[in-house]
Structure 1
């Protein structure tokens, strides 16, 4: 029997956030690009004015700046504000769909307009799930450059009798692969770069004793960035037109994991559609993605 933990009037209240918008401005500066390149162990030349901003590295900008008094016990900003105040303890970046219309470069003055596209409730076997879809449009001085849809999932903490979702084996026919050895310094540097205070990524005592996970959780957007970086390394000078990813299972810092890719020639004989995925140390699929080259 399905469990309902959120009352109907709460769901109705959350629907009030539909259509809400937020507008932010920023500048594509060189320092975060240089820092992320170092974190990913890339031998990139130092960026300068006009340098191309690699795909997905727009996540280094428009960062949340909640005051310290507005931070909750898990390190996230307290609920409310632009995002709806969902009364469920766990929040996950479940996936994104990104389309590049024009390049972004160092020195660009950029603006992001965000909108709450949908707030959906589902009652699952382990309790309630709330799905929030946020759209982002990023423009520079030349007009609209990037469009993104961002999927956020809120859920309850699992109970002692809840069974984990059955794992899915990762594909075994990769053309390109890279093994990643995560550690707490790697995760801390990415948290610092994205001003992400969520304690599951750096506070081992909190994540194991309070949240009940076996280790620090590798950020979903960091894994997505590593997937795109594998394509950039494997196909030099390529540019992406579209990218989408979906998180499948959490990845922890206590084991190595692997990112892999191959051209999806069945779907696109031109070779411009790339199937990409991440898998854990046991070969279970943790993230699934598609990139389409320009």
Structure 2
């Protein structure tokens, strides 16, 4: 695949005001972030924006495929999962560089139709030092067919030792979309989400579910060295999620997001 190895770099001076907005969006208490403070884990998604003119967007509000991401003829995009390694603190108020490389493109035939997985590697450096390395898997799918079999999500465990619950309103989703410059219409355009993409309602961002699990892991372990996650089923704005954790191994955690009907929406590990 010609796209493999394609690379793009984005520079950003990490404005503390954007971190303050993320803190409010996540409903967190504590001091307002300031320059020189360490950026909390996973908050880098509020930075390194890639603004595109309207003509350069796809119907879903994302940058159209065919430029950096190859056009595979599959219009529906979702975030399948990722893995992060935290090497050093990223400091607010200072310039940083994010380098993204396409590492793999896999096209498959599934029960629900054709799909493709695009794998990306992100590396964030500051002052010439590697601060964060991340792999990300993006899933592209064919049009939603009314008669296509619905995927059966896994059942979530119920043996957690710690849990927290939260429901995300349409306002929460809009604010997170704005803060991360994510134009995907499934998160704020209910008609599009239901009538075009076939969802039951507004879809809660995979990254915000991962962020909640990161916060839970950090509250239990302190500073994290690694976090990986996999999305397994969508969560909708009219549903309450339960964020769960239990110890696993010597110094790690197993984490997951359980929907109100017991389905697993996301699984993760942290250490």
- TM-score of the superposed pair, with normalisation by structure 2: 0.96
Residue equivalent to 1:253: 237
Cα distance in 2 for residues equivalent to 1:21 and 1:75: 22
Cα pair 2:259 2:265 within 8 Å, conserved: yes
Aligned length: 271
* Partner of residue 184 from structure 1, selected from 167, 170, 179: 170
Residue equivalent to 2:259: 280
SS of 1:16's equivalent in the other structure is coil
> Is residue 2:117 matched to residue 1:138?
no
SS of 1:137's equivalent in the other structure is strand
Shift of 1:142: 4.5
> Is residue 2:213 matched to residue 1:213?
no
SS of 1:240's equivalent in the other structure is coil
Cα distance in 1 for residues equivalent to 2:128 and 2:61: 37
**Is the deviation greater in 54-63 or in 69-78?**
69-78
Residue equivalent to 2:45: 59
Cα pair 2:186 2:193 within 8 Å, conserved: yes
Cα distance in 2 for residues equivalent to 1:58 and 1:37: 12
Q: Rg bigger for which structure?
A: 1
* CA deviation profile, 1:137-196 (whole Å, cap 9, x unmatched): 110005111111110111112322222222322111111111111110000000000111
Gaps of 5+ in 2: none
* Partner of residue 29 from structure 2, selected from 43, 63, 87: 43
Gaps of 5+ in 1: 1-14
Shift of 1:211: 1.8
Mapping for residues 31-180 of structure 1, pairs under 5 Å: 31-180=17-166
Cα distance in 2 for residues equivalent to 1:223 and 1:45: 23
Cα pair 1:224 1:245 within 8 Å, conserved: yes
- TM-score of the superposed pair, with normalisation by structure 1: 0.89
Q: CA RMSD in A?
A: 1.3
Cα distance in 2 for residues equivalent to 1:68 and 1:162: 32
Cα distance in 1 for residues equivalent to 2:241 and 2:136: 24
Shift of 1:91: 0.7
Cα pair 1:114 1:137 within 8 Å, conserved: yes
Moved over 3 A (4+): none
